[in-house]
Amino acid sequence: MRVHFDEQADAVYVRLDDSRIVESKEVQPGVILDLDSSQQVVGVEILGVKKRISLADLKEVRVQIA
């Protein structure tokens, strides 16, 4: 899994695996899912991130495994 924050675009992209993206769907305003040929989510893009989360939280990404 890779996480990329583009401060200029105000967007975060989370790539879950390296599968080929065949379709993208905006599921909510500013939330786009990238899908593979099996319709499985392989990436998530979130636009307008600074309105949703503090910049300090973006600089340190924590992953909690349940």
Whether residue 32 lies inside any domain: the answer is yes
Whether residue 64 lies inside any domain: the answer is no
Whether residue 29 lies inside any domain: the answer is yes
Whether residue 49 lies inside any domain: the answer is yes
Whether residue 65 lies inside any domain: the answer is no
Whether residue 66 lies inside any domain: the answer is no
Q: What does the pLDDT read at residue 60?
A: 73
Calpha distance 56→62 (Å, rounded): 12
User: How many domains is the chain partitioned into structurally?
Assistant: 1
Whether residue 53 lies inside any domain: the answer is yes
Closest CA to 46 of 14, 16, 15, 12: 12
Range of the domain at 30: 2-59
C-alpha pair distances (Å), 60 with each of 40, 54, 64: 27, 11, 13
Whether residue 31 lies inside any domain: the answer is yes
**pLDDT tens digit sequence for 9-58:** 999 999 999 999 999 999 999 999 999 999 999 999 999 988 888 777 76
